[in-house]
Amino acid sequence: MPKTYVDIAFPTAVRRLFTYQISEDQTIMPGMRVWVPLRNEYAIGMAVQVHEHRPDFKTKPVEQVLDDEPIMNETMLQLTEWIHRFYYCSWGEAIQAALPVGLNFSSVKKLRVKKSNRDQLTKKEKELLEDLEAGDYTLQNARKRWRDGVEKKLLNKAIKSGWIEVWEQPRQRVDYKTAKHWKIPASIEPKEILEDLSEKGQSKKWEQAFEELTKLDLPKTHRDLLGDELFTPYTLKRIEEEGWIESVDLPVETNSQNIGVHDPELIKTLTEKQKNSFDAIREPLDERVFKSFLLYGVTGSGKTEVYIHALKHCLEQDRGGLVLVPEIALTPQTVQRFYQIFGDQIAVLHSRLSDRERFEAWQSLKSGDKRIAIGPRSAVFAPVQDVGLIVVDEEHDTSYKQFDPSPRYHARDVAVMRAHMENAVVVLGSATPGMVSVKAVMEKKHEMLQLPLRPTGTMPEVKILNLLEYKHAMKGSLTAELHLEIEEALERDEQVILLYNRRGYSSYLQCEDCGHIPQSPHSSTSLTYHKKKNILLCHYSGYSRRADTHCEKCGSDNMVSKGSGTQKVEEEMQDLFPDARLLRMDRDTTSGKFGHQKIYEKFLNGEADILIGTQLVAKGLDFPNVTVVGVVNADTELAFPSFRAGERMFQLLSQVAGRAGRAEKPGIVYVQTWKPDHPAIVSARTHDFKSFAKQELANREMLNFPPYSRMVVFQFKSKSISKIQTVSNRFCDAMRKVVGENVVMGPSPSVIEWMNGQFQWEANIKLKRTYNAHVIEELLNRIFDKYKSMKPKGASSVRINVDVDAVE
């Protein structure tokens, strides 16, 4: 009996699979994509199971098989199925996340003119149809071209009355990446210009730059040119203003990245501590069994060297490797070190790749041409063949968690699961491991490896500046001491980094006299201040009270609301240090593709004296000339209404401390705070991760927060505040019926209650940490079934997202 049915996963929110019929001339295996009718349209789906169980409904046939062989192997199907259950998304959504564009489910809507009697059409209508016939229009293009007035109406009418048909077809083409190139316009005679210039005598810098340009083989990319110090965005713009050069967008060649020299001889001999770690990792590699390690080592302790030796060993066994790093740390500097040793065996998968580059990198790994993949979160799905080792560097980094869209997976946890499925070894590296991993070490799930010392140099000094003591000695937001240190560093031509935190979208109340921030009695997290209603709110438990007029700690009536937009640090610093050149790095200034890298290079080249930024500054940067690092107000991080606020604070301070003094000049980190006794601050000062972890875990255990439980957050979104209230309350009622009274917290408004025209509320449940994917799925199914049976009116206008192991 031939296998005649196939279960298909679609990248929609619907979690179930759909069964289709396979015709005799079709060969379909799990992992192959198909083109099938779905409702009134066609869609691409992934075959995940082939079987002979005739379903009790009429099945439709598979229209077309899109792949000759499976594009996903069994392990990746299994891994995406696990994500589907554990993170409660559809299997298709998980598959979509694991495949590059060109191989995933993307399709385009095309327009086809139907041959029908056109006699009764008006002249205008006929013209429209003729135009459409002449061009190869997608629905999107057509809507762009006929975008307003009468013509828009005509197009809609044509679609509605069926004169033209919207036809969906799989999109398998990937576009070339283009980049800005500079060239000299054909109308320009460079020789004449140069002659004029030389007559003038001394030439300006941009004029010299132009002379240099005439010697080059143009067009060249903007980015390539910036490698030469003569060419800056300013000089190029200045020359463009003269009309001597013009920019064009041209395709760039792939693999044009300059990532240094390949020289395997440059592999470093390991120190004794490093060798101990490597030996421990080698053992399960040799035995080809699953094992997970937490490699704990401060910044600069040489974790990368351990990774490199382990990867090399892996390649010698003829197996592949996978290295995950936070997106922000995936700089040319990071890649260079790996490239030096492994050369072309490396495929780098960063977010700046074009669809085509990503597609090619993916193919080169799948074919076994390249054996090692390096990339951010999504690289956990890279089709490295026969994976032996998976490294998750900076395992505590929050960018490993995908928030939107679904699947809301955590790449670190997916990496551990993948290693488990492939009998591979997984190494989680960090200087400040997350509490989840620390707890896993305590439970003997991970083995801990330690690199306690920096091979060269020592840890920088961390100085705590108590804002209470400096109350009457402030220069703007700076204590007199930090102000003086900055001044002196600038005089010595050294650089300064100032860090402020702008998770500013939540407001909170703080006492100006003692620095106290009101806390929730239920979750020990900071209460959010809602100005309109004048209340303080706990966004975990929904607890609320009228905003305090007096400080509950010192009795002062000096309670001030703080939060978004109150920090104009950059302006203030320019006033305080008028001669200093400032550079700002935050989400706003790094939005461009190379934004982060550009600011990094500028500061490294000494083009600015003070770098001001959010936590972005703390990640993956090395500046030898920085001697003063200041944290303007550590309390803004602690004020963030999350049970992880302390952990974040500690990680942030440790990372910042790791930045200062990595070169010959000693660096000092100054931390301004109202709470010098907070465990996160005390431990960061002494670089004592262990004592911090001990206290933090004790707190979490007391309140049953993760890692002692597993938190599932339900997010409600709607345009209507009344509907969101009704629905979220009803949903929580349903949850209480299923999981019990004490497990459910909420509903309450989210930290950001209003965003993109929608209200956001949330509720959460704390589940047992030991629940596996099947238990979680079953429980969530029961919750949603219960809710369905008691849905209130208007429920369909409220969207409910599920976020398992949410990271806020």
Binders of Zn ion among residues 379 to 398 (CB under 5 A) are none
Binding of Zn ion by 548 (CB under 5 A) = no
- Rounded CA-CA distance 134/663 in Å is 66
Cβ 474 to Zn ion, closest distance in Å? Answer: 17
Instruction: For residue 444, give Cα distances in angstroms to 281, 439, 573, 695.
Output: 16, 9, 49, 20
**Closest CA relative to residue 461, chosen from 179, 708, 661:** 661
Say if residues 431 and 655 touch (Cβ distance below 8 Å): yes
Say if residues 577 and 604 touch (Cβ distance below 8 Å): no
Nearer to Zn ion, 336 or 556 (CB): 556
Cβ 554 to Zn ion, closest distance in Å? Answer: 3
Say if residues 572 and 482 touch (Cβ distance below 8 Å): no
Binding range to Zn ion, per CB under 5 A, among 551-559, 632-640, 734-742, 787-795: 551-559
Exposure string over 735-765, b if 16+ CB within 10 A, otherwise e: bbbbbeeebbbbbbbbbebeeeeebbbbbbb
| Host H or E run for residue 758 | strand 758-768
Cβ 640 to Zn ion, closest distance in Å? Answer: 20
Cβ 506 to Zn ion, closest distance in Å? Answer: 20
Q: What is the DSSP string of 88-109?
A: T--HHHHHHHHS-TTTSS-EEE
Cβ 475 to Zn ion, closest distance in Å? Answer: 23
Nearer to Zn ion, 486 or 511 (CB): 511
Strand, helix or coil for residue 530: strand
Binders of Zn ion among residues 147 to 206 (CB under 5 A) are none
Is 732 annotated as contributing to ligand binding? no
Nearer to Zn ion, 81 or 513 (CB): 513
Nearer to Zn ion, 198 or 556 (CB): 556
Is 511 annotated as contributing to ligand binding? yes
Q: Which two tokens stand for residue 472?
A: 């009457």
Binding range to Zn ion, per CB under 5 A, among 51-59, 111-119, 507-515, 640-648: 507-515
Nearer to Zn ion, 511 or 735 (CB): 511
Binding range to Zn ion, per CB under 5 A, among 52-60, 84-92, 355-363, 512-520: 512-520
Strands (E) across 526-591 are located at 528-530, 535-537, 544-546, 559-562, 582-585
Q: How many residues bind Zn ion (CB under 5 A)?
A: 8
- Rounded CA-CA distance 680/685 in Å is 9
- Rounded CA-CA distance 37/445 in Å is 46
Nearer to Zn ion, 15 or 516 (CB): 516
Cis bond upstream, residue 219 (ω within 30) = yes
Cis bond upstream, residue 407 (ω within 30) = yes
Cβ 294 to Zn ion, closest distance in Å? Answer: 40
- Rounded CA-CA distance 341/326 in Å is 21
Binding of Zn ion by 553 (CB under 5 A) = yes
Q: Which of 29, 554, 560, 790 binds Zn ion (CB under 5 A)?
A: 554
| Host H or E run for residue 6 | strand 5-9
Binders of Zn ion among residues 72 to 111 (CB under 5 A) are none
Binding range to Zn ion, per CB under 5 A, among 125-133, 218-226, 437-445, 514-522: 514-522
Cβ 514 to Zn ion, closest distance in Å? Answer: 3
Cβ 553 to Zn ion, closest distance in Å? Answer: 5
Binding of Zn ion by 556 (CB under 5 A) = yes
Binding of Zn ion by 511 (CB under 5 A) = yes
HEC assignment per residue over 645-677: HHHHHHHHHHHHHHHCCCCCCCCEEEEEECCCC
Other CB atoms within a 10 A radius of the CB of residue 67 amount to 16
Is 538 annotated as contributing to ligand binding? yes
Nearer to Zn ion, 432 or 526 (CB): 526
Binders of Zn ion among residues 320 to 359 (CB under 5 A) are none
Cβ 512 to Zn ion, closest distance in Å? Answer: 8
Binding range to Zn ion, per CB under 5 A, among 205-213, 412-420, 455-463, 548-556: 548-556
Nearer to Zn ion, 299 or 673 (CB): 673
| Amino acid at the residue 120 | Q
Cβ 678 to Zn ion, closest distance in Å? Answer: 16
Q: What is the DSSP string of 229-264?
A: TT--HHHHHHHHHHTS-EEEEEEPPTT--------G
Q: Which of 516, 539, 659, 700 binds Zn ion (CB under 5 A)?
A: 516
Is 314 annotated as contributing to ligand binding? no
Cβ 531 to Zn ion, closest distance in Å? Answer: 20
Nearer to Zn ion, 350 or 516 (CB): 516
**Closest CA relative to residue 653, chosen from 608, 605, 702, 688:** 688
Nearer to Zn ion, 248 or 554 (CB): 554
- Rounded CA-CA distance 400/416 in Å is 13
Q: Which two tokens stand for residue 332?
A: 């040319």
Q: Residue 687 burial (CB < 10 Å; 0-12/13-18/19+)?
A: middle
Binding range to Zn ion, per CB under 5 A, among 203-211, 322-330, 543-551, 729-737: 543-551
Say if residues 297 and 450 touch (Cβ distance below 8 Å): yes
Is 514 annotated as contributing to ligand binding? yes
Nearer to Zn ion, 322 or 511 (CB): 511
CA end-to-end distance (rounded Å), the chain = 52
Cβ 235 to Zn ion, closest distance in Å? Answer: 54
Nearer to Zn ion, 168 or 513 (CB): 513
Binding range to Zn ion, per CB under 5 A, among 67-75, 168-176, 552-560, 794-802: 552-560
Binding interface with Zn ion (CB under 5 A): 511, 513-514, 516, 551, 553-554, 556
Q: Report the binding-site residues for Zn(2+).
A: 511, 514, 538, 551, 554
Q: Report the binding-site residues.
A: 511, 514, 538, 551, 554
